[in-house]
Structure 1
Amino acid sequence: MYITSSRKPSAGTRTLCKHLASFFGFEYFNRGKMSMGEVLSLSHDNPLIIVGEYHGNPGSLAFYDREGFCALSIYITVLEAPSNYPKRSKSFPLIDGDNELVPLINDIVVPEDSISSNLLSLIISGNQLDFKEGENELFSLRMKSYKVFEVDEECC
């Protein structure tokens, strides 16, 4: 499972990528001049998150499924900047909340038959994504909008 950024990411975007990679247990790589085709081939049929920018700040999350299709795009603002890296866990974070995106993100990010962590959780409630380690909030993102894509649609 992989995470990367836009071609010329700001320091804030790179930091968010590293925090997301640590939180989900993904591998982070610098995109550089790679085309989307090269990025998707590098992910080797694994889920992929691409963090996009808007005016020099992290501005979107594009979730690609194991087949390389963009399944979800979320336009975001960082509410609380990441402070500490979460502890790496061999299990995946618990994804919970009252938003309709919970099962979709869970299907993309968490492999079938995997064990969820009691330590890390992503709570999606209303228009907010809260990344937590135990009871401590690591960082929060606000969803401005999102779009769920069909298999034949182009992502952002």
Structure 2
Amino acid sequence: MIFQIDTNMIITTSRKPSQLTRRFTQFIKHYFNLTYINRGKTSFNKIVNTTKQDNIEKLVVITETKGNPSSINIYNIEKSTQTPVLSFYINTSIPSNKKTINVNSNDIFIINKAKSLSEINELFTEIKPDYKITQNCVICKDTTHPDAIAEITFIDKNGKNTDYKIYINGYKIVDENII
């Protein structure tokens, strides 16, 4: 299934993120052209208030375990600030060298080929493009990686793999009306 997502979101991290979590969050910010709030010691309520002031409904929080990104939590702050509407439990693979990511953030497609994530397809509206998508896309597919149910790769505007990967260990849908 192919779909697009609304990227009018704010992204932040858990408090005092590690260098690795900060770098991963910055990559996601640049790839999807999201607004980033540097968390530091800022309370979650202050982040929520900032999101509301900017008239943005969705807040993405990257949390970490032992210095590594471990979950992506998506909150719809108009519905609840206590419970994320969608959570992904993850491991990441981040390239050791920093490189510029060239992507057209306004035209990113999500291609979900993962049978293990088929339930997520129901949350989005499928689109039928007139051409084969080979660039500016996020590809979700089943994986043989131990402990993971799916693997996500990011392709830039030139059709090249960015070398950033997310391994999804599990997910939880709390509210099916997240869009």
- Considering the TM-score relative to the shorter chain, is it more than 0.5? yes
Equivalent residue in structure 2 for 1:42, among 18, 26, 50: 50
Distance 2:14 2:32 in 1: 19
SS in 2 for 1:60: strand
Quote the residue 1:150 is aligned against.
175
Which range moved further: 90-99 or 117-126? 117-126
Q: Distance in 1 between matches of 2:100 and 2:75?
A: 24
CA distance in 1, matches of 2:19, 2:121: 29
Runs (5+) with no aligned partner, structure 1: 108-116, 152-156
Aligned to 2:6: none
Partner SS state of residue 53, structure 1: strand
More strand by share: 1
Pair 150,22 (structure 1): closer, same or farther in 2 beyond 3 Å: same
Indicate conservation of the 8 Å contact 1:122/1:131, yes or no: yes
Residue 129 of structure 1 and its aligned partner are, at CA, apart by 1.2
Question: Which residue number in structure 2 is paired with residue 54 of structure 1?
Answer: 65
Identity value in percent: 25
Q: How far did residue 145 of structure 1 move?
A: 1.1
1:58 and 1:93 map into 2 onto residues whose CA distance is 23
**Stretches of 4+ aligned residues off by more than 4 angstroms:** none
Identify which of 166, 170, 177 aligns with 1:141. Answer: 166
Larger radius of gyration: 2
SS of residue paired to 1:16: helix
Query: What is aligned with 2:29?
Result: 21
How far, CA to CA, are the matches of 2:75 and 2:95 in structure 1? 24
1:66 deviates by 5.7
Classify 1:3/1:79 alpha carbon distance in 2 versus 1 (closer, same or farther; 3 Å).
Answer: same
- CA offset at residue 130 of structure 1? 1.1
Taking the aligned partners of 2:34 and 2:137, their CA distance within structure 1 comes to 15
Rounded Cα–Cα distance in structure 2 between residues aligned with 1:118 and 1:41: 38
Structure 2 residues not aligned, in runs of 5+: 1-8, 126-132, 143-149
- Residue type of the partner of 1:95? I
Count of aligned pairs = 141
